[in-house]
């Protein structure tokens, strides 16, 4: 089985374990089996709205193994980054949750209530209660020269009802108003992954996520193996089109695939094969012998397309032609 080659899983949450308050099918059982396989587990989340303790409690309510010490979030990472930039005692406008404010206070920084308080810095993290006035205050302060830290820049967040705007969308609003670019603390920066692996004393961690631009890019930057699951944001087609830095090592339907053997993807003649599927690149055409509902067909397609575009700096635009098994 795939997980046998690793000593830890560093798992994203939204879109991998749950969507909104409810668990994704098969996720809880899969996480519960890791300990029996001798594999450690930590959670890496860009959602800065809740404390590690609250996240762990939610996971335990769903039936997943979790403690606060194994939840690594962008609120803490953002506060650490901010403290390093402005030093102890600096005035900070907190645009985010109560927990983010607590993190700022814990680093010896002083929260203020408005841009008129002349903050030295602004820290911005996700909170569903944020409104226009909060973004306006952040914009006023950033425009006056305040250091700006974003806990994360995920444009979207999976919810039970569908896909909703994430912190990155709110950060873009401030960026559009000010022309400024924030320092970013969470994924895809590697620090959260490194902190988790060090805490677990893991030598061979596997990063699992549903987003190329945060989970997979961050895991790749950290130097770890990466696996994308198709239970959240990205799709097989977006993975196929990914730029080099965001390409995962493994394509999984969901977390249950951790316990299945990962099929070999092999060069065959001018193309690539995975299971019964074959893929061949002919110029800008990608021909796939297989069915689009068969993940092996996408695995073969990715190998063929990525081989033909090995160092793509931006997304490519493949149009795969499936001919059926």
Catalytic residues: 12, 14
CA distances from 11 to 25, 175, 196, 210 (A): 15, 30, 10, 10
- Please tell me the distance from the alpha carbon of residue 119 to that of residue 144, in angstroms, as a whole number: 9
Secondary structure class of 93 (helix, strand, coil): strand
Judge if the upstream peptide bond of residue 296 is cis by omega within 30 degrees of 0. Answer: no
Instruction: Return the residue matching tokens 């309510």.
Output: 61
- Please tell me the distance from the alpha carbon of residue 107 to that of residue 53, in angstroms, as a whole number: 18
- Please tell me the distance from the alpha carbon of residue 261 to that of residue 12, in angstroms, as a whole number: 22
Query: Which of 98, 93, 69, 68 minimizes the C-alpha distance to 82?
Result: 93
CB contact at 8 A, 154 and 129: no
Please name the residues in contact with 211: beta carbons below 8 A apart, sequence gap of 6 or more: 12, 15, 154, 232, 233, 234
């Amino acid at each position: 089985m795939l997980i046998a080659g690793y000593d830890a899983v560093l798992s994203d949450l939204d879109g991998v374990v749950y969507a909104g308050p409810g668990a994704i099918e098969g996720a809880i059982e899969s996480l519960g089996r890791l300990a029996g396989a001798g594999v450690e587990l930590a959670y890496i989340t860009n959602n800065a709205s809740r404390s590690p303790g609250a996240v762990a409690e939610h996971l335990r309510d769903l039936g997943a193994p979790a403690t606060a010490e194994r939840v690594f979030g962008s609120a803490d990472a953002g506060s650490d980054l901010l403290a390093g930039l402005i030093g102890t005692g600096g005035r900070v406008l907190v645009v985010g949750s109560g927990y983010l404010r607590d993190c700022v206070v814990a680093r010896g920084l002083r929260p203020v209530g408005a841009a008129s308080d002349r903050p030295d810095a602004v820290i911005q993290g996700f909170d569903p209660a944020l409104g226009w006035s909060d973004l306006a205050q952040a914009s006023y302060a950033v425009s006056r020269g305040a250091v700006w830290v974003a806990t994360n820049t995920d444009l979207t967040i999976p919810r039970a009802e569908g896909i909703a705007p994430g912190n990155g969308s709110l950060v873009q609003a401030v960026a559009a108003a000010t022309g400024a670019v924030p320092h970013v603390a969470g994924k895809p920066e590697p620090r959260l992954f490194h902190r988790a692996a060090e805490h677990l004393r893991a030598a061979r961690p596997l990063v699992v996520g549903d987003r190329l631009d945060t989970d997979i890019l961050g895991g790749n930057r950290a130097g770890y193996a990466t696996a994308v699951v198709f239970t959240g944001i990205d799709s097989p087609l977006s993975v196929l089109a990914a730029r080099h830095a965001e390409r995962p090592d493994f394509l999984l339907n969901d977390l249950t695939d951790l316990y299945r053997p990962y099929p070999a993807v092999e060069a065959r003649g001018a193309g690539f094969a995975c299971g019964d599927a074959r893929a061949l690149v002919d110029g800008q055409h990608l021909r796939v012998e297989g069915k689009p509902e068969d993940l092996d067909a996408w695995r073969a397609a990715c190998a063929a397309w990525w081989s033909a575009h090995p160092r793509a700096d931006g997304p490519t635009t493949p149009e795969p032609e499936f001919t059926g098994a």
